[in-house]
Amino acid sequence: MDADLVVVGAGLFGLTVAQQAVERTGAQVQIIDVRDHIGGNAYSYMDEETGAEIHKYGAHLFHTSNRRVWDYVNRFTAFTDYTHRVYTTHRGEVFPLPINLGTINQFFHAHYTPAQAQALVQEQAGELAGTDPANLNDQGISLIGRPLYEAFIKNYTAKQWQTDPSELPASIIKRLPVRFNYDNHYFKDTWEGLPKDGYTAWFERMIDDPRISVKLSTDFFDDSQPWNRDALVGQVPVVYTGPVDRYFDYQLGELKWRTVEFKERRYNEDDHFGCPVMNFSDPDVPYTRAIEFKNFNPERYDRQSHDSTVVWEEYSRFAGKGDEPYYPINTADDRSLYNQYKELAAAQPQVVFGGRLGTYAYYDMHQVINSALVAFDKQIEPLLGE
Q: How far apart (Å, rounded) are the C-alpha atoms in residues 251 and 342?
A: 13
Q: Is 57 a catalytic residue?
A: no
Q: Is 314 a catalytic residue?
A: yes
Q: What is the H or E stretch that residue 341 is in? A: helix 332-346
Query: Which of these is catalytic: 247, 314, 356, 360?
Result: 314
3-class SS at 321? coil
Q: Is 289 a catalytic residue?
A: yes
pTM for the full predicted model:
0.94
Check residue 78 and give left, alpha or beta (phi > 0: left; psi -120 to 50: alpha). beta
Q: Is 53 a catalytic residue?
A: no
Query: Which of these is catalytic: 49, 183, 362, 377?
Result: 362
Q: How far apart (Å, rounded) are the C-alpha atoms in residues 300 and 53?
A: 10
Q: How far apart (Å, rounded) are the C-alpha atoms in residues 141 and 159?
A: 18
Q: Is 179 a catalytic residue?
A: yes
Residue 261's nearest CA partner among 330, 159, 363, 362 is: 159
Positions of CATH 3.40.50.720 in the chain: 5-78+196-253+328-383
For the domain made up of 86-172, give the CATH fold: protoporphyrinogen ix oxidase, domain 3 (1.10.3110)
- Give residues with Cβ within 8 angstroms of 6, minimum separation 6: 29, 30, 31, 32, 227, 232, 236, 237, 238, 239
Q: Which residues pair with 266 in a beta bridge?
A: 310
3-class SS at 293? helix
Q: Is 265 a catalytic residue?
A: no
CB atoms within 10 A of CB 18: 28
pLDDT by position in tens, the chain (length 386) = 589 999 999 999 999 999 999 999 999 999 999 999 999 999 999 999 999 999 999 999 999 999 999 999 999 999 999 999 999 999 999 999 999 999 999 999 999 999 999 999 999 999 998 888 989 999 999 999 999 999 999 999 999 988 899 988 888 887 677 899 999 999 999 999 999 999 999 999 999 999 999 999 999 999 999 999 999 999 999 999 999 999 999 999 999 999 999 999 999 999 999 999 999 999 999 999 999 999 999 999 999 999 999 999 999 999 988 888 988 987 889 999 999 999 999 999 999 999 999 999 989 999 999 999 999 999 999 999 76
Query: Which of these is catalytic: 33, 179, 199, 247?
Result: 179
- According to the CATH classification, is domain 5-78+196-253+328-383 in 3.40.50.720? yes
Positions of CATH 1.10.3110 in the chain: 86-172
Q: What is the DSSP letter of 11?
A: S
* Sign of the dihedral defined by the CA atoms of residues 213, 219, 225, 228, in that order: positive
Q: Is 300 a catalytic residue?
A: no
3-class SS at 94? strand
- Cβ distance 128 to 141 under 8 Å? yes
Query: Which of these is catalytic: 72, 138, 192, 289?
Result: 289
Largest CA distance in the chain: 69
Query: Which of these is catalytic: 127, 175, 284, 386?
Result: 175
Check residue 271 and give left, alpha or beta (phi > 0: left; psi -120 to 50: alpha). beta
DSSP 25-61: H---EEEE-SSSSSSGGG-EEE-TTT--EEETTS---
Query: Which of these is catalytic: 258, 292, 356, 360?
Result: 258
How far lies 299's CA from each of 6, 276, 342, in Å?
39, 13, 45
